[in-house]
Amino acid sequence: MLYYWAKTYVSQLKRREPYTQLKKMIQIIITDFFLLPPEDIHSKFQLLDPYNGMVFSDHLEIHVVQLPTEQEKGLQEMNELEKWLLFFKGMTREKGGNCDGKFSYQRSLR
């Protein structure tokens, strides 16, 4: 994961351009397996000092989103992130029940 982040980050520069030209790079990793503890469906990582919490640079930000393997909650009980994760897994409105109006989507294409 870090390799792909770094490769994309340095590809912003051409030869002899100053490092000040580099822009923040956010990597989003979506898995259909648990890379981290299962209760952490969304985690955000940065470079920081473990002693005082100071962020070294805001240029590195990695988000890990873990798609649920099983649907434990009904659609009405889910928060917005959980509903979107079901959408990414290919869940349809018919399978999930009625939407509450805040989250709407069409049948996912397969």
* Residues 54-103: tens digit of each pLDDT: 999 999 999 998 886 666 777 788 888 878 777 777 754 444 444 444 44
- Residue 8 falls inside a structural domain: yes
Which tops the pLDDT comparison, 18 or 89?
18
- Residue 52 falls inside a structural domain: yes
- Residue 23 falls inside a structural domain: yes
- Residue 43 falls inside a structural domain: yes
Which regions of 1-110 does DSSP assign to beta strands (E)? 25-31, 42-48, 55-66
- Residue 87 falls inside a structural domain: no
pLDDT at 71: 64
Reading phi first (left if > 0) and then psi (alpha if -120 to 50, else beta), residue 43 is in beta
Domain limits for position 56: 2-69
Number of domains observed in the structure of the chain: 1
* Residues 19-58: tens digit of each pLDDT: 999 999 999 998 878 888 877 888 999 999 999 999 999 9
109 pLDDT band, cuts 50/70/90, is very low
* CA pair distance 94, 100, nearest whole angstrom: 14
CB 96 within 8 A of CB 75: yes
Specify the pTM. 0.66
